[in-house]
Structure 1
Amino acid sequence: METPRKLDHQRMLEIRRRLIRMHYESGVGHIGGNLSSIDALALLFNEYIGESDHFVLSKGHSAGALYTALWSAGKLSDEQLTTFHKDATLLAGHPPAAGIAEIMFATGSLGHGLSLASGTALADRMRGRDNRVFCMTSDGEWQEGSTWEALIFASHHKLANLTILVDHNGLQGFGSTDTIASMSPLWNKLQGFDVAVDVVPGHDLSAIREALNTRPDRPHVVMLQTHKGKGVSFMENRMEWHYLPLNEAQYKQAMVELTES
């Protein structure tokens, strides 16, 4: 297994290459949103999430990035990654309900993860635990009422142990978030709910660290301004890579770019 360590640019290239290889070998798509979220996920599991902390991946279609982040932190083996999306695997296309200690809930029906994380944060506080609960949502999920209901709940209960990360890559399954149901700028809407909001470049490890090191006295939203398909030129900011798998030529080009970058 990999050994967790402080992340830098070269290490993130290694992690991206492993993510790309896993998706290529399994023939599975959803690569664009995995590449937009992998920096924050790898940072969380290598540098922030301790044994008593919890994480919920609301945007369950980025399960590949979650598994690769867990691998990078020594929580999953390389051999386990080779089973991704195959028969009898624990590493399904969306996070499983059981079998991996770091995964609390099966997710992927979008709009539900923040409710699960908020309830967990309240339960932990009621038990007197001094831990943190992290939840990553997509930006498209903020078009769903259940996400806003969860935010109202978290704000009402002043869940200072809850950190919400938003993978704000601006693209969803059928187009841009602005053309589907615009709420731009999303962070302005969030601030109206009495939560702390930081807007950071979502591929800048130092900027993400600075935000995560902040501990407000209320729920904390970290808006990650990301790029779908980050690191691979033909994928970046292209909506079709919300779905597409890689062919052999594309895989080879992607690996070259993630080596020479």
Structure 2
Amino acid sequence: MKLIVEKLVTELNHQAIVQDISFYVNEGEFVGVIGPNGSGKSTLLKTLYRVLKPAEGAVMLDDEAITSYQHKEFAKKVAVVGQESSVPFDFSVLDLVLMGRNPHKRLLDQETKVDHDIAIDALKHVGLEGYEQRSFATLSGGEKQRVIIARAIAQEPSFFILDEPTNHLDIHHQLHILDVLQRSNMTVLTALHDLNLAASYCDRIIVMQDGRLVANGSPKETLTKQLLEEVFQVEATIWTHPLTQKVQVMYVSPGMKQGIFDHQLKSWLQS
């Protein structure tokens, strides 16, 4: 399933938050969206999964405009995990994950054994086997996030759109969830804050700044010292991990630099 975005503009309160963005996501690709806070990442994704309407431009999914899909047909193809995991009513974990099966059912259809098996398997994928009867409201933030991801997996989509899916997760579960997504062989477009996770898992990275796309390429092409200074206002050392051969980022804060300078000065004065 291929996504094509052409000259997309999205406005909020008559202000362009996403400005003239064009890119594509090929079938089976794992593409990350990065950028500082307020760069327009969430607004872009909300436009792609039809919460917001574009002011200009086109979004095509398998050569059809996303606006042409009926809600249920779109949900069969695209699963969404947003930043907010709030649920207005309390449900058991299993009931919430079973909601992911709704696009595949007619009105008033009951859940089948196949639906239950798919939901149980989705919970196993996110490491929540045995949580089926737990109340969603009693879970930790990280557990809730994993339930929401399990619900998306239970949809059996062809395309995942995720906005900061590793929020609230400890590092073990961050890696586990991204491993699950990567092994799924589905097309993935996800916003990520952690640049090293983006570098480790993404085939390509889209970089946003002030609502515009400023870079689009492999992690090696996009995560450069110059780009990090210009877009994120941080100084960093870029290196290649000896085991994974993936680009990795080591940050140097002004305080760290000052500490190193003070230590060197003290050693010089004492010599």
After TM superposition, the score normalised by the length of structure 2 is 0.31
TM-score (ref. length: structure 1): 0.32
Query: Computing the radius of gyration over CA atoms, which structure comes out larger, 1 or 2?
Result: 2
Which structure has the highest strand share of the two?
A: 2
